[in-house]
A and B are shown apart, each in its own frame.
Chain A
Amino acid sequence: MLWDALTLQLGYNATLVAVGATLLGVSAGVTGTFLFLRKRALVSDAISHATLPGVCLAFMVLVAFGGDGRNLPGLLAGSAVSAWVGLLCMNWLTRNTRLAEDAAIGAILSVFFGLGIVLLTVIQTMGVGRQAGLEGFLLGSTAGMLWADALIIAAGGAATLLLVLIIRRPMTMVAFDPEYAAARGLPVHRIDLAMMGLVMAVTVVGLKIVGLILIVALLIIPPVTARFWTERSDRVVLLAGLAGGLAGYLGAALSASAPNLPTGPIIVLVSFGFFALSLLFAPVRGVLAAVLQHLKFQRRVHIRQGLLALAQGQKIYEPLTLRLLTRAGLVRADGVATEAGKARAAKALRDEKRWEVVRADQAHEATAALYDGLRDIETVLTHDQIIEIDRQIGGPQGVPT
């Protein structure tokens, strides 16, 4: 069943949903990255909650003019208008009052959402309102997705991606260093608005699939996931798009493979799965890597300290140091250095002196920055450079490198 879902063989609706969710995941991940880099991730929560009154008002207007209240383009247009109003209110509060952004987000989010719920309740007491299925916009409802709906999502997602591609450089510059960007003449405020407008577009497009409450997860989790794997912003963008797209596709397939599994929440959970895996297993930034690095570092410190102690003829009492040195064959069980141990100890002491020279010399600055008291000098300098340094130090020249 799951295999059928993954290979898009579960029928027309399931295929539409899977394709739509994938596109949505990619554009949400890519767009959300800039919000994340700008450290304004929570703005997306205010934007998404501010869509609800617009959806409801659009429904009322459509019905009042005798149209079909479930017309998706109409409802999405309404949601976009109210999200934009919410966004402008929030911006105004942050820029022109002493309210901090988090407080402004809280105020806008709750007020707009509250208004939306009131309107939703009013609609449900209207005769035509009961079948409208507007509450589906809260958590997404993919059951009755149409070809036209999928097209809107695809077109919206593609347009968003294209715009991101065009303004990615200014957005990155503003996110990294807004003052420098302003000094270069970039319209920082307008770039921020454009970024949030893109987030709004993704939100509106995603209403049908994941709903307004959970879209924030698709905007934030993929960039955070991607950040674990790279130190370059352009790659964070690409990886976030990949993680988002994969989560959308897998989530949609999973939810189609069994009855009564809600699409949006499953997508979010799959996305969280990627995040959890990255958090644990990512190299360098992951939790596991950090623990391993710490242990490895601790061992190197102990061995280094032990060698320096040996070189200076001091007795070693620290059990971990002794154990590590013994295991490496550098000291015997009774704590006396072996021949190999003596050689390594002499080398360690000499390396300390060599590092001293390196760190005092401006020409070696890039190398000196690597100094951690542990590194063997030959891993960072050439043989000739070491000979030159040994000449500066003087004394016996035969110490191995």
Chain B
Amino acid sequence: MLELAADKGVSVAESGVDDSPLAIRGMTVSYGQKPAVFSVDMTVQPGAMTAIIGPNGAGKSTLLKAALGIVSPLSGQVTVFGAPLEQQRARIAYVPQRASVDWDFPTRVIDVVLMGLSRQLGLLGRIRARHMARALDCLHRVGMRDFADRQIGQLSGGQQQRVFLARALAQEADLYLLDEPFAGVDAATEKAIIAVLKSLKEAGKTVVVVHHDLATVTDYFDHVFLINTRKVAEGPVAEAFTAETLQAAYGGRLATAQIDQISRALG
């Protein structure tokens, strides 16, 4: 229906999605001549947990980064809770891929989480007891309270990922965007992260996750967004996460057996 609205040139406001936590229109991103994301529209449902799914190189992370202005798109428009991105930065928390930083950087776990409070601290504000308490509480929520004083390089991959999540929690945002938070983490971390994400959802927050593990989609998420450079499908898991849409997104890359397995899981 949204696409129909766009086709007919009806403005976003008229189609009734103007207060979506994240609305992307006509997003095209290109590294060089080949587009990584081509003319993608996305409307995130408020209070939902949405998975962005697609094969490797399908533009999942790029879409997220373009939505946040980390990479500059060729064209496209992003609104967050009905207003331009730049006005709503404070309401967005982003969890980048773990591999994107140097873990030998001289900083402790608590310092990383305090970065999430940079808006409250300002340029010169002192770190006060209440800031510290909030940062420690966020670490506690991801089960990392005891690690506060460790150097970040001493952590395992999963623990590093949870520190990143704690930093995002410290922002007390309304929209959480996570880039492959479950990639290469241990089972304990996966459980801890999903528990936190579900608690965010229960608190009415909106969560969008770039996800690669098809087997867990139905357990973890209620909405999916399938992408392979272009948008393939979007909607509630029961409608948009089907054998047909997966076949369309993954093409020959997904074994028929896998699709059957997922179809069975979906009932």
Instruction: Known A-B contacts: A37-B105, A230-B106. Give 14 more (CB < 8 A).
Output: A37-B106, A169-B123, A176-B112, A180-B115, A182-B70, A183-B89, A227-B106, A231-B106, A232-B107, A233-B111, A235-B106, A365-B188, A366-B146, A369-B155
* A-side contacts of B65, CB under 8 Å: 179
Main secondary structure of the interface of B (DSSP, over half): mixed
Given contacts A365-B143, A366-B146, contact A169 B100 (CB under 8 A): no
Q: Is A177 an interface residue (CB 8 A)?
A: yes
Q: Does residue B118 face the partner (Cβ distance < 8 Å to A)?
A: yes
A233 touches B118 (CB 8 A): no
Of the A-B pairs whose beta carbons lie under 8 Å apart in the complex, a sample of 8, sorted by A's number, is A169-B118, A169-B121, A169-B123, A176-B101, A179-B96, A365-B146, A366-B146, A369-B154
Give the nearest-CB partner of B87 in chain A: A185
Given contacts A179-B65, A183-B68, contact A39 B102 (CB under 8 A): yes
Q: Check if A182 sits within 8 Å of B106, measured CB to CB.
A: no
Report whether B100 and A177 are in contact in the complex, using a CB–CB cutoff of 8 Å.
yes
Q: Which of the four size classes fits the interface of chain B?
A: 35 or more
- B124 interface residue, CB < 8 Å from A? yes
How far, in Å, is B61 (CB) from chain A's closest CB?
10
Whether A185 and B89, one on each chain, are in contact in the complex, defined by CB atoms closer than 8 angstroms, is: yes
Decide: A180 and B123 in contact? CB cutoff 8 A.
no
A362 touches B94 (CB 8 A): no
Within 346-376 of A, Cβ neighbours of B (below 8 Å) are at 362, 365-366, 369
How extensive is the interface on chain A, given as a class?
Answer: 20 to 34
Contact indicator B115/A176 (Cβ below 8 Å): yes
Is B206 in the interface zone, CB < 8 Å from A?
Answer: no
Q: Looking at chain A's contact residues, is the secondary structure mostly helix, strand, loop, or mixed?
A: helix
**A contacts, CB < 8 Å to B:** 37, 39, 165-167, 169-170, 173, 175-177, 179-180, 182-185, 227, 230-233, 235-236, 362, 365-366, 369
Kindly state the separation between the CA atoms of A235 and B107 in the bound complex, as whole angstroms: 10
Partner of A232, one of B102, B106, B115, B124: B106
Please, which residues of chain B bring their CB within 8 A of the CB of A37? 105-106
Question: Is the Cβ of A175 less than 8 Å from the Cβ of B105?
Answer: yes
Which of A39, A166, A185 gathers the greatest number of chain B CB atoms within 10 Å? Answer: A185
Contact of A183 with B108 in the complex, beta carbons under 8 Å: no
Q: How far is the CA of A236 from the CA of B151 in the complex (A)?
A: 14
The answer to whether the Cβ of B263 comes within 8 Å of any Cβ in the partner chain is no
User: A183 to B96, Cβ gap below 8 A?
Assistant: yes
Query: Which residue of the partner chain, among A173, A233, A362, contacts B106 with CB atoms under 8 Å?
Result: A233
Which of A169, A173, A362 is packed against the most chain B CB atoms within 10 Å? A169
- Judge whether B250 is part of the interface by a CB distance below 8 angstroms: no
Q: CB distance A183 to B70 under 8 Å?
A: yes
Contact of B101 among A169, A177, A230, A362 (CB under 8 A): A177
> Is B221 among interface residues, defined by CB-CB distance under 8 A?
no
Assuming the contacts A176-B101, A233-B107, asked whether A182 and B68 have C-beta atoms less than 8 A apart, the reply is yes
